C-alpha cells in the first residue's frame, strides 16, 4: 500500500492495525491508504483528524435515511437488550416475522415468501439456487443455465460472478473457473429482443431463469435502461416459461424513484433480491423473495425437494429490527418525494458537466446522478481531489456518480454537485 503521507498524524489504532488489513477492490501495493473515520452523522463522515466530508455515496448505497438515524438506533438498542441474535433453524422471532410480512405487503404481486440471509451476493446465490431447483423439483434438472446481461454486476461470490459480465467487470480472471451462462445484450431494441428470443427458443431446455438489475446496472457503470426492457423480459420469460429474477439489491427501497424499480415497469418478477438499504445502512441483511409459484415447486412430502440453505446469521434479530424501523421511516417520512427533489437538483447541478469536452453523458435517475467520461486516467488522483474538496465521491471505471442519502439537505447536495463539476472540469 502506498505509504500514508503522515502516519504520525494518524490515531494509534490506525498505525497498529493497518498493516494487517486486506482492502476491498484494491491492489494493496499501490492503493491509497483508507481514510480513518471517527464517526458519521446525517450525510457526513467525520475523519479522525476532525475533517468532515459530505458523503456522496451513502456507504455503497445503503444509508438512505442518512447516518445514525435516531429512530433506527433506538430500535436496534431495544432489540439488543432483548436478543441480538438467535439461530433460525427450528427457531424464529418477532422482528423477522414482522419484516417478512411487511416486505410481502410492500412488494408487488405475490412475492410473498421471504428467505433471509446476510449479504447481497448470498441473496443472489439463493435466488440462483431457488431457480435451478425449481426446475429440478419438476423433473427438469437440465435447466441450470442463466441468461444474464452485458454490463451486469450481481456480486462477488462464485454464482453471482458467473451471472455478471466478466468481460466488462472485474472478475475476468475467473472466467475459466466459473460455470458459463448466456451473457447477452439487454433487449433495448427490436434486434436485441429478437436475438434474446432466438436464444430462448433454441436453448430453453437448458435455461432456468433470466437475471437482471432492473432500470440501472449499478456497479457495471450506472447504465440505465427503460421500463420497456423489463416488460419485454417479462413477456419473453412468460412465453418461453423461464423464471425472471430481479436483482433489486441496489435499486430497492426508493433509489430509482419508486419503492422498487419493478413497480416503475408494472412488472412482477418470480424472484427478487433485496439488501443494501434494507436496514437503512446499519446492519448486514438481505432477502430473496419468491412468488407462490416458485414456493409451490418446493412444497412436497419429499425431503429432497427442500431448499437446502441456511446461513448462520440469517434473519439476525438486530438487523431485522433495524429493517422494520427503516420501513417505518419510509412510511412516515416523505422519502420518495425527497428522491424526486434530489433528482431535480442533481439534474440542474450536474448540467454544467454536459459542456465539458471529455464528458460523454450526464444522466439522472431518482437519487442516482452520473457523469460519464470517455475515460478517467487516474482514479486515485480523482478520488483524492474530491477529498480535498471536502466530499466523499468514489468514481469507478469511467464514471463519477452520486448516490446520496435521501435526507441530504439541499445545500450539501449542492456542495456535492459543485465538487463534481469542479473536479471533472479540472482533471479532464
Ligand atoms: C445489484 C447488486 N447485486 C448484488 C450486489 C452484491 O451485494 P453485496 O456486496 O452485499 O454482496 C451488489 C453490490 O453492489 C449490487 O449492486
State residue 5's pLDDT score.
Answer: 47
* Radius of gyration (C-alpha) of the chain in whole angstroms: 22
Q: Which residues contact 319 (CB under 8 A, 6 or more apart)?
A: 118, 279, 282, 283, 284, 285
247 catalytically annotated: yes
What are residue 55's phi and psi, to 5 degrees?
-90, 120
3-state secondary structure the chain: CCCCCCHHHCCHHHHHHHHHCCCCCCCCCCCCCCCCEEEEEECEEEECCCCEEEECCHHHHCCCCCECCHHHHHHHHHHHHHCCCCCCCCCCCHHHHHHHHHHHHHCCCCEEEEEEECCHHHHHHHHHHHHHHHHHCCCCCCCCEEEEECCCCCCCCHHHHHCCCCCCCCCHHHHHHCCCCEEECCCCCHHHHHHHHHHHHHHHHHEEEEEECCCEECCCCCEECCHHHHHHHHHHHHHHCCEEEEECCCCCCCCCCCCCHHHHHCCCCCEEEECHHHHCCCCCCEEEEEEHHHHHCCCCCCHHHCCCCCCCCCCCHHHHHHHHHHHHHHHHCCHHHHHHHHHHHHHHHHHHHHHCCCEEEEEEECCEEEEEECCCCCHHHHHHHHHHCCEECCCECCEEEECCCCCCCHHHHHHHHHHHHHHHHHHC
State residue 3's pLDDT score.
Answer: 56
* pTM confidence score: 0.97
401 catalytically annotated: no
Side-chain half-sphere CA neighbours of 50 within 13 A:
1
Kindly state if the Cβ of 254 falls inside 6 Å of ligand 1. Answer: no
Q: Tell me what percent of the residues of the chain surpass a pLDDT of 90.
A: 95
pLDDT string in tens for the chain (428-residue length): 665 544 457 999 999 999 999 999 999 999 999 999 999 999 999 999 999 999 999 999 999 999 999 999 999 999 999 999 999 999 999 999 999 999 999 999 999 999 999 999 999 999 999 999 999 999 999 999 999 999 999 999 999 999 999 877 777 888 888 999 999 999 999 999 999 999 999 999 999 999 999 999 999 999 999 999 999 999 999 999 999 999 999 999 999 999 999 999 999 999 999 999 999 999 999 999 999 999 999 999 999 999 999 999 999 999 999 999 999 999 999 999 999 999 999 999 999 999 999 999 999 999 999 999 999 999 999 999 999 999 999 999 999 999 999 999 999 999 999 999 999 999 87
Set of cell numbers at residue 340: 424526486
Could you tell me if residue 398 is left (phi over 0), alpha (psi between -120 and 50 degrees) or otherwise beta?
A: alpha
Q: Which residues pair with 162 in a beta bridge?
A: none
CA nearest neighbour of 218 among 175, 192, 249: 249
Set of cell numbers at residue 150: 452485458
State residue 171's pLDDT score.
Answer: 79
Catalytic choice (67, 118, 145, 153) = 153
Q: Which atom of ligand 1 is nearest to the CA of 248?
A: 1
Task: Using the mean position of ligand 1's atoms as its centre, give its distance from the Cα of residue 155 in Å.
Answer: 5
Which is it for strands 44-47 and 37-41: parallel, antiparallel or unpaired? antiparallel
Kindly state if the Cβ of 218 falls inside 6 Å of ligand 1. Answer: yes
Contact 182, 148 (CB under 8 A): yes
> For residue 265, how many other CB atoms are within 10 A of its CB?
23
State residue 1's pLDDT score.
Answer: 66
Set of cell numbers at residue 300: 412436497
d(CA 421, CA 414): 11
Whose C-alpha lies nearest to ligand 1, atom 7? 120
276 catalytically annotated: yes
Mean residue pLDDT of the chain comes to: 96
Set of cell numbers at residue 295: 414456493
29 catalytically annotated: no
Amino acid at each position: 500500500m502506498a505509504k500514508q503521507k503522515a502516519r504520525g498524524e494518524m490515531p494509534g489504532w490506525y498505525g497498529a492495525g493497518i498493516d494487517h488489513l486486506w482492502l476491498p477492490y484494491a491492489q494493496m501495493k499501490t492503493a491509497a491508504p483508507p481514510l480513518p473515520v471517527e464517526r458519521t452523522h446525517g450525510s457526513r463522515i467525520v475523519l479522525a483528524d476532525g475533517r468532515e466530508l459530505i458523503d456522496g455515496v451513502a456507504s455503497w448505497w445503503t444509508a438512505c435515511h442518512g447516518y445514525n438515524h435516531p429512530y433506527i438506533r433506538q430500535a436496534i438498542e431495544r432489540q439488543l437488550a432483548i436478543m441480538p441474535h438467535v439461530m433460525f433453524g427450528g427457531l424464529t422471532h418477532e422482528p423477522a416475522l414482522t419484516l417478512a410480512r411487511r416486505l410481502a405487503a410492500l412488494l408487488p404481486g405475490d412475492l410473498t415468501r421471504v428467505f433471509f440471509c446476510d449479504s447481497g451476493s448470498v441473496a443472489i446465490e439463493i435466488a440462483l439456487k431457488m431457480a435451478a431447483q425449481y426446475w429440478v423439483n419438476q423433473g427438469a434438472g437440465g435447466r441450470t443455465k442463466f441468461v444474464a446481461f452485458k454490463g451486469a454486476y450481481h456480486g462477488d461470490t462464485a454464482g453471482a460472478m458467473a451471472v455478471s459480465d466478466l468481460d466488462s467487470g472485474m472478475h475476468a480472471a475467473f472466467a475459466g473457473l466459473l460455470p458459463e451462462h448466456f451473457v447477452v445484450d439487454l433487449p433495448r431494441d427490436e434486434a436485441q429482443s429478437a436475438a434474446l428470443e432466438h436464444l430462448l427458443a433454441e436453448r430453453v431446455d437448458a435455461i432456468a431463469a433470466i437475471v437482471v438489475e432492473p432500470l440501472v446496472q449499478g456497479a457495471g457503470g450506472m447504465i440505465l435502461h427503460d421500463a420497456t426492457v423489463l416488460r419485454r423480459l417479462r413477456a419473453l420469460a412468460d412465453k418461453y416459461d423461464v423464471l425472471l429474477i430481479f436483482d433489486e439489491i441496489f435499486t430497492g427501497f426508493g433509489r430509482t424513484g419508486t419503492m422498487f424499480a419493478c413497480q416503475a415497469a408494472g412488472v412482477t418478477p418470480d424472484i427478487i433480491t433485496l439488501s443494501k438499504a434494507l436496514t437503512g445502512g446499519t446492519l448486514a441483511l438481505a432477502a430473496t423473495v419468491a412468488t407462490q409459484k416458485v414456493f409451490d415447486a418446493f412444497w412436497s412430502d419429499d425431503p429432497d425437494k427442500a431448499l437446502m440453505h441456511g446461513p448462520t446469521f440469517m434473519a439476525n434479530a438486530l438487523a431485522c429490527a433495524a429493517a422494520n424501523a427503516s420501513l417505518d421511516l419510509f412510511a412516515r417520512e416523505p422519502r420518495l418525494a425527497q428522491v424526486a427533489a434530489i433528482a431535480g437538483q442533481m439534474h440542474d447541478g450536474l448540467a454544467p458537466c454536459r459542456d465539458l469536452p471529455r464528458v460523454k453523458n450526464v444522466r439522472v435517475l431518482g437519487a442516482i446522478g452520473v457523469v460519464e467520461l470517455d475515460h478517467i486516467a487516474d482514479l486515485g488522483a480523482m478520488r483524492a481531489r474530491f477529498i480535498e474538496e471536502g466530499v466523499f465521491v468514489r468514481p469507478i471505471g469511467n464514471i463519477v456518480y452520486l448516490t446520496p442519502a435521501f435526507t441530504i439537505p439541499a445545500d450539501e447536495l449542492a456542495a456535492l454537485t459543485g465538487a463534481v463539476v469542479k473536479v471533472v472540469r479540472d482533471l479532464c
